């Protein structure tokens, strides 16, 4: 009964979080295009399925991913098994990313647009190895107590230097690749490992030291992909026919759902195998409450699948159609307004953001409010996507926009209270997940393909990067304001 009440509560919250997307869609359909959505019942059904999916997913996380991740981190720390812990970090990072659906989609787009010069499979392996290695670095950071802001500032300096040297064809893809390495399953697991480590070591803070692993997983792939691009465009061949997957046409609906759920299991299976191997073989310990954990993982899978099905039924076709209609109208102000509003609305519905914001509120001694954090992050994403769309419309060079944005980030890191830095960068990584990535990628490539003088490869990628950078800026500004405003009031009184 308690689980049923929890599910009903999460379902109501999910529907409330989806209201901004509905408001944006309805407003543009009625006020701008002056027409009703083609199939309003399908849209409503899709949104209800999305709500059920999010509720199942979040409840499943509480039963499985969070406790398993924290428990593994505690066991490794208690045993003092540093070698095992670092091996686990690399394995879970590689396994979580190599089969990530959003990364597969971006890699296939890159191979297609570059006419086979960029190999999609190699690109995925490069990113997965980067994430595995950086998780090793992140775990060492928590254990040794290294300040995360120094690592992040140094890392982003390397990113910007690489941006100067890398071929322009790879820059947007590199920044987008950093944004798609973190999904709604990997983010909570990685965050749980970091928080579990911080909680198990005396003198560590869950807020200051526990967060930051997701941020590193976003940063290092940018370097790896730019190095790969330098190799490809310096020594690689001219490309060949890109390989594209063939879809099964005319398959019955039930078979499509079975295949879709099987693909979801395939995507999550490497992570589950790594967790079980280290739990039972390396640590030789049984899971606490294995039935509850198994039920939780099933709920995560079914919830995630329902979430994706609901989006495909209702929002994705409508969002793509609206982007095409806006491009056809050729009114820049309307395109920018749509980018701003849809960026805010989709971010508010991101399950990974909901999960991490709740975790931050739970472990924070600094009075962080989960709802306020989500509003601040969504505002940052909205501004970032709007600026990225403006760059495509104006034709400005991507690396200049990116460099100025990260220069602002570095200045704010120096000014912001240190407890918020790791969380701010982590929140930048969770904004580009299953809701945002498909819509934003379709909008960017669609705009670049439709505007004369733009290249889908040079200009179509990069929006995801803006959606990752600007939430960091907005959260850091929020923390600075929280710290400075009471002090100013005190001084004025």
| Model pLDDT for residues 48-64, shown as the tens digit of each residue | 887 888 788 778 877 88
CA distance 257 to 263: 10
Residue 286, C-beta contacts closer than 8 angstroms, at least 6 positions apart = 279, 280
347 falls within a domain: yes
For residue range 82-141, what is the model confidence (pLDDT) as tens digits?
888 888 889 888 887 776 666 776 777 778 777 778 888 888 889 889 888 988 998 888
pLDDT (0 to 100) of residue 245: 45
410 falls within a domain: yes
Q: How many domains does the chain have?
A: 1
HEC string of the chain equals CHHHHHHHHHHHHHHHHHHHHHHHHHHHHHHHCCCCCCCHHHHHHHHHHHHHHHHHHHHHHHHHHHHHHHHHHHHHHHHCCHHHHHHHHHHHHHHHHHCCHHHHHHHHHHHHHCCCCCCHHHHHHHHHHHHHHHHHHHHHHHHHCCCHHHHHHHHHHHHHHHHHHCCHHHHHHHHHHHHCCCCCCHHHHHHHHHHHHHHHCCCCCHHHHHCCHHHHHHHHHHHHHHHHHHHHHHHCCCCCCCCCCCCCCCCCHHHHHHHHHHHHHHHHHHHHHHHHHHHHHHCCCCCCCHHHHHHHHHHHHHHHHHHHHHHHHHHHHHHHHHHHHHHHHCCHHHHHHHHHHHHHHHHHCCHHHHHHHHHHHHHCCCCCCHHHHHHHHHHHHHHHHHHHHHHHHHCCCHHHHHHHHHHHHHHHHHHCCHHHHHHHHHHHHHCCCCCHHHHHHHHHHHHHHHCCCCCHHHHCCCHHHHHHHHHHHHHHHHHHHHHHHHHHHHHHC
Structure tokens at 357: 């914001």
CA distance 245 to 236: 23
Range of the domain at 80: 2-235+254-486
**Cα torsion 191, 378, 56, 102: sign:** negative
244 falls within a domain: no
397 falls within a domain: yes
Distance of CA 61 to the CA centre of its chain: 17
Cβ atoms within 10 A of the Cβ of 290, count? 10
CA distance 332 to 345: 20
pLDDT (0 to 100) of residue 316: 63
pLDDT (0 to 100) of residue 159: 84
Percent of the residues in the chain that have a pLDDT greater than 70, as a whole number: 84
CA distance 267 to 249: 22
249 falls within a domain: no
246 falls within a domain: no
pLDDT (0 to 100) of residue 308: 72
Q: What residue ranges of the chain have pLDDT lower than 50?
A: 241-249
Is 354 exposed, middle or buried (CB count within 10 Å of its CB: 0-12, 13-18, 19+)?
A: buried
Q: Measuring CA to CA, which residue among 234, 238, 222 is closest to residue 123?
A: 222
CA distance 318 to 324: 10
């Amino acid at each position: 009964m308690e689980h049923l009440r929890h599910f009903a509560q999460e379902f109501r919250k999910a529907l409330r979080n989806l209201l901004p997307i509905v408001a944006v869609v309805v407003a543009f359909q009625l006020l701008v295009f002056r027409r009703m959505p083609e199939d309003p019942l399908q849209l409503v059904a899709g949104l209800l399925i999305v709500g059920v999916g999010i509720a199942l997913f979040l409840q499943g996380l509480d039963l499985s991913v969070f406790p398993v991740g924290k428990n593994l981190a505690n066991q490794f720390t208690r045993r003092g098994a540093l070698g095992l812990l670092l091996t686990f970090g690399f394995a879970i990072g590689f396994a979580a990313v190599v089969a990530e659906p959003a990364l597969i989609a971006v890699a296939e787009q890159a191979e297609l647009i570059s006419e086979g010069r960029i190999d999609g499979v190699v690109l995925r392996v490069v990113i997965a190895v980067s994430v595995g290695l950086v998780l090793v670095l992140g775990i060492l950071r928590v254990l040794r107590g290294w300040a995360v802001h120094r690592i992040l500032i140094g890392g982003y300096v390397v990113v910007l230097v690489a941006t100067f040297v890398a071929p322009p064809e790879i820059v947007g893809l590199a920044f987008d690749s950093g944004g798609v390495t973190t999904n709604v399953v990997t983010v909570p697991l990685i965050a749980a490992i970091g928080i579990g480590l911080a909680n198990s070591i005396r003198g560590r803070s869950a807020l200051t030291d526990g967060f930051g692993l997701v941020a590193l997983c976003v940063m290092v792939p940018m370097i790896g992909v730019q190095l790969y691009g330098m190799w490809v465009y310096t020594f690689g061949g001219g490309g060949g026919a890109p390989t594209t997957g063939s879809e099964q046409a005319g398959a019955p609906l039930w078979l499509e759902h079975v295949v879709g759920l099987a693909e979801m299991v395939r995507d999550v299976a490497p992570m589950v195998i790594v967790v079980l191997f280290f739990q039972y073989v390396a640590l030789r310990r049984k899971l606490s409450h294995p039935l509850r954990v198994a039920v939780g993982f099933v709920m995560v899978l079914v919830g995630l699948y329902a979430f994706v099905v609901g989006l495909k039924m209702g929002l994705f076709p409508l969002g793509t159609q609206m982007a095409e209609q806006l491009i056809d109208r050729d009114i820049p102000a309307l395109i920018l307004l749509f980018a701003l509003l849809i960026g805010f609305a989709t971010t508010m519905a991101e399950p990974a953001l909901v999960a991490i914001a709740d975790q931050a509120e739970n472990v924070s001694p600094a009075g962080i409010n989960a709802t306020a954090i989500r509003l601040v992050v969504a505002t940052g994403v909205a501004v970032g996507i709007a600026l990225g769309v403006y760059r495509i419309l104006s034709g400005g060079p991507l690396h200049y926009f990116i460099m100025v944005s990260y220069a602002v980030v570095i200045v704010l890191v120096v000014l912001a209270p240190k407890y918020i830095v790791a969380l701010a960068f982590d929140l930048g990584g969770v904004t580009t997940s299953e809701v945002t990535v498909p819509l934003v990628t379709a909008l960017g490539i669609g705009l670049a393909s439709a505007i004369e003088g733009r290249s889908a490869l040079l200009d179509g990628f990069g929006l995801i990067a803006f959606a990752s950078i600007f939430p960091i800026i907005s959260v850091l500004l929020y923390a600075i304001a929280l710290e400075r405003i009471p002090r100013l009031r005190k001084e004025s009184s």
